[in-house]
Chain A
Amino acid sequence: MSDAPAPTGLQPDAAGHFGRFGGRFVPEALVAALDELSEAHRTAMADESFRAEFEALLRDYAGTPSMLYPAQRLSAKLGARVLLKREDLNHTGAHKVRNVLGQALLTKRMGKTRVIAETGAGQHGVAAATAAALFDLECVVYMGEVDTQRQALNVARMRMLGATVVPVTTGSRTLKDAMNEAMRDWVANVGDTHYLIGTAAGPHPFPAMVRDFVRGIGDEARQQCLDLTGALPDAVAACVGGGSNALGIFHAFVGDPDVRLYGFEAGGDGVATGRHAASITGGSVGVLHGTRTYVLQDADGQTVESHSISAGLDYPGVGPEHSWLHDTGRATYLPVTDDEAMAAFELLCRTEGIIPAIESSHALAGAAAIAPKLAAELGREPTIVVNLSGRGDKDVHTAGRYFGILDREQ
């Protein structure tokens, strides 16, 4: 944990509201557990020994701080000095390990013996299963039936790590339904079970708690950028699905008014087509999965299915703190289409020898789009920190088919 002072105005109120967003829209049966979790989170963050244990785990087990890498060949292509925050090099291949280690430590602290998690493509499920193995916790992962078929390798990974994977057959059989099922499990087993939510969404205290566990990304990047360039970056770019990696890197910079914050949402086939996962750009304010935030919904408030080539961004809501950063104007949210993301994916492969997660490719594509505008505005080459939140090994199948390297049947 960094000793950097928390920027002002960034903590939710006592009931977990970020402005008009956040809060708790949950069955009463869960409130006691959420209160218990809030209290455990509060005391843990104030406890030196907890912080030391968390930091040691992040360093010795997860491999952080992740490097801030000046990507020179990419920079030359984009006309900006691009610094990549290499969260893809963390254990399990993404920023998500920070969150699961933090929550697993809290689970132990609360004396609970079982964790449940939802997963879309399986990345958070694998991370949760990893932490559960490390901490000797029983682990059950809910995954939409459609996703278990699309992501058989990740299902195998979770099972190797000792987790039980439950295919969810209700609703659209994807991530949002996996989340519903995890909530139902939690209501029934809340006494011994912690719900290890994979992103900075859900009811209070999850958005603030998950943010706290991943904020090291930004704390590190801010210092690394100062060390490397002698100045703060002109912009920070991150992809936004639920939004934990973006909040993780934004948080340290929110108090720096000259640092522009950009969140790039999954534009799918294009926001105008309706086939996208851009909750802020193309959605409206509503309540989903326990929190008030921007959601994709129809005129009656029924959740609309999202679409993105990136399974990790394919979610019809967004963390409430992002909605608030959007409304206050502190951060700017823009959509990136599937095709734009895949072009950036290919560009990073070819210029830097790094295969990025398709999620992170949205941040790269967004950085490419804003670079010329920033250069024109500043009258010089801008410095952009891009959160390379995950690596692309998991996406080889999807990308291989997209580029025609693998045929559809493979």
Chain B
Amino acid sequence: MSRIGVAFDKARAEGRALLVGCMPAGFPTVEGSIAAMTAMVEAGVDVIEVEIPYSDPVMDGPVIQKASDIALAGGVRTADTLRIIEAVAATGAPVVTMTYWNPIERYGVDAFARDLDAAGGTGLITPDLIPEEADEWLAASDAYGLDRTFLVAPSSTDARLAMTVEHCRGFVYATAIMGVTGARERTSDAAPVLVSRVRAVTDLPVGVGLGVGTGAQAGTVGGYADGVIVGSALVRCVLDAPNEAAGLAALRTLSAELAEGVRTPRP
């Protein structure tokens, strides 16, 4: 049974999409990131996606890159990320971890799965790990009962899409656009098509990420997806704020707007 599936079921029962909010671990500091993620939960974000900062984040746009750089310059370690996950999981919100593959491989795949499980994490979103390269992770996630979310993209062939989805547990991450993370003015036309292609091959919930930054966009995406994943727009609240208190206030405001958005589905 999937750990995160319960949260998706609950949202589905309420007739709405689940809101996933992403923040890099250790940004702006370890304690600051715990405060930020806690504020997001309190303001209505259903699931927290903790991104492990990485030196070479090729799927991320400038906002998350900058936040990751700040976290790494502050000395955040993988062990700190696990501590952050534990603290945020203590709020009761499910915590999923987004990570490039090298930090996990370096930590030890089985050891990380063990420690993630112990910290109360639900599983991993792996933006640069495709199922063909994931044997070790498939085994470790099975051993510890963790969810695994691989990405599907508008360019995925039907065969790849079916294969990828088959290896997912918990939910499927549909990348709404061909591109990197970052809020955009318009939501993607490709995303609804991609979501329906995923639905044709699985009953797993589908989360849509990349480019969502406002309550209205969350409503639009929530109209066809099971989960709305927001990252850069939330990170920017903290990045652009003059001080921590202002950052948390902006974060609460946007989180509440997004939470309202997923409760107001738009056609």
Asked if A65 CB lies within 8 Å of chain B CBs, one says no
Contact A183–B65 (Cβ < 8 Å): no
Q: B156–A301 contact, CB under 8 A?
A: no
How many residues from B make CB contacts under 8 Å with A?
42
Stretch in contact with the other chain, from B32-40, B49-57, B234-242:
B49-57
Could you tell me if B62 and A170 are in contact, using CB atoms closer than 8 angstroms?
yes
Instruction: Judge whether A287 is part of the interface by a CB distance below 8 angstroms.
Output: yes
Is residue B128 contacting chain A, with contact meaning CB distance below 8 A? Answer: yes
Interface residues of A in 5-47 (CB under 8 A from B): 15, 23-33
B10 at the interface (CB under 8 A from A): no
- Inter-chain contact A24/B133, CB cutoff 8 Å: yes
A29 touches B133 (CB 8 A): no
User: Smallest Cβ distance from A22 to chain B, in angstroms?
Assistant: 10
Instruction: State which residues 175-214 of B face A: CB under 8 Å.
Output: 175, 177-180
Q: Contact between B56 and A303 (Cβ–Cβ < 8 Å)?
A: yes
Nearest neighbor of B59 in chain A, beta-carbon distance: A27
- Measured CB to CB, the closest approach of chain A to B112, in angstroms, equals 11
Q: How far is the CB of A112 from chain B (nearest CB, A)?
A: 14
CB A165 to nearest CB in B, in angstroms, measures 19
Known: A24-B130, A187-B59. A31 touches B102 (CB 8 A): no
Which residues in chain A, 28-71, are within 8 Å of chain B measured between CB atoms?
A: 28-33
Is B65 a contact of A31 with CB atoms below 8 Å? no
Q: Is A239 an interface residue (CB 8 A)?
A: no
> When A31-B160, A286-B102, A300-B106 are in contact, do A171 and B65 touch as well, CB less than 8 Å?
yes
Q: How far is the CB of A182 from chain B (nearest CB, A)?
A: 9
The reply to whether A29 and B178 form a contact with Cβ atoms under 8 Å apart is yes
Q: Number of residues in A with C-beta < 8 Å to the partner?
A: 36
B5 within 8 A of A: no
Q: Judging by beta carbons under 8 Å apart, are A33 and B155 in contact?
A: yes
CA of A30 to CA of B77, assembled, Å: 29
Q: Assess whether A29 is in contact with B155, with CB atoms less than 8 Å apart.
A: yes
Against A, the Cβ 8 Å flags (1 = close, 0 = not) of B88-117 are: 000000000000011111110000000000
**A27 in contact with B153 given A180-B57, A184-B58 (CB within 8 Å):** yes
Query: Chain B nearest CB: distance from A9 CB in Å?
Result: 22
> What residues on B are CB-neighbors of A163 within 8 Å?
none
Whether A31 lies near B58 (C-beta < 8 A) is: no
Confirm or deny: A176 has a beta carbon within 8 angstroms of a beta carbon on chain B.
Answer: yes
The answer, among B72, B129, B153, for a CB contact under 8 Å with A25, is B129
Cα distance A25–B104 in the bound complex, in angstroms: 13
Residue pair B178, A301 in contact (C-beta under 8 Å): no
- Asked if A331 CB lies within 8 Å of chain B CBs, one says no
Answer whether residue B27 sits at the interface, using C-beta atoms and an 8 A cutoff: no
Max count, chain B CB within 10 A of own CB: residue among A23, A288, A302: A302
A300 touches B56 (CB 8 A): no
Instruction: Kindly state the separation between the CA atoms of A31 and B164 in the bound complex, as whole angstroms.
Output: 12
Cα distance A80–B59 when bound, in Å? 50
A171 near B102 with CB under 8 A, answer no
Q: Mark B125-158, 1 if CB is under 8 A from A, else 0.
A: 0011110110000000000000000111111110
A163-185 CB mask vs B (1 if < 8 Å, else 0) is: 00000001100001100100110
Q: Are B78 and A300 closer than 8 Å at their CB atoms?
A: yes
Instruction: Name the contact of B179 in the complex, choosing from A180, A187, A297 (C-beta under 8 A).
Output: A187
At the interface, yes or no: B257 with Cβ under 8 Å from chain A? no
Interchain CA distance A354-B42 in the complex, whole Å: 69
B65: nearest chain-A partner, CB-CB: A170
The answer for the CA separation of A281 and B94 in the assembled complex, in Å, is 43
Q: Is B69 an interface residue (CB 8 A)?
A: yes
Q: Judging by beta carbons under 8 Å apart, are A300 and B107 in contact?
A: yes
Query: Chain A residues near B128 (CB, 8 Å)?
Result: 25-27, 287, 290
Q: Bound state CA distance, A288 and B164, in angstroms?
A: 22
Among candidates B54, B130, B160, residue contacting A302 with C-beta atoms closer than 8 Å: B54
- Residues of B near A371 (CB, < 8 A) are none
Q: How far is the CB of A55 from chain B (nearest CB, A)?
A: 33
B133 contact from A23, A170, A184, Cβ within 8 A: A23
Asked whether A15 lies within 8 Å of B132 as measured between CB atoms, the reply is: yes
Chain B CB within 8 A of A190 CB = yes
Q: Which residues of A contact B54 (CB under 8 A)?
A: 301-302
B133: shortest Cβ distance to chain A, in Å? 5
* A25-B101, A171-B69 known; A301+B179 contact, CB < 8 A: no
What residues of B have a CB within 8 angstroms of the CB of A289 in the complex? 56, 58
The reply to whether the CB of A376 lies closer than 8 angstroms to some CB of chain B is: no
User: A184 to chain B: which residues have CB within 8 Å?
Assistant: 58-59, 61, 179-180
Q: Which residues of A contact B77 (CB under 8 A)?
A: 300
0 or 1 for each of A189-217: is its CB under 8 Å from B? (1 = yes): 11100000000000000000000000000
What are 17 sample pairs from A and B whose C-beta atoms fall under 8 A apart? A26-B128, A28-B150, A28-B160, A28-B164, A31-B130, A32-B157, A171-B65, A184-B59, A188-B180, A190-B178, A287-B101, A287-B102, A287-B105, A288-B56, A299-B106, A300-B77, A300-B103
- Residues of A near any B CB (own CB < 8 A): 15, 23-33, 170-171, 176-177, 180, 183-184, 187-191, 286-290, 295, 297, 299-303
Starting from the known contacts A31-B156, A287-B102, A303-B55, 5 additional A-B residue pairs (CB-CB under 8 Å) come to: A25-B130, A28-B152, A31-B155, A170-B65, A300-B106
Chain B residues in the interface with A (C-beta under 8 A): 54-59, 61-62, 65-66, 69, 72, 77-78, 101-107, 127-130, 132-133, 150-157, 160, 164, 175, 177-180
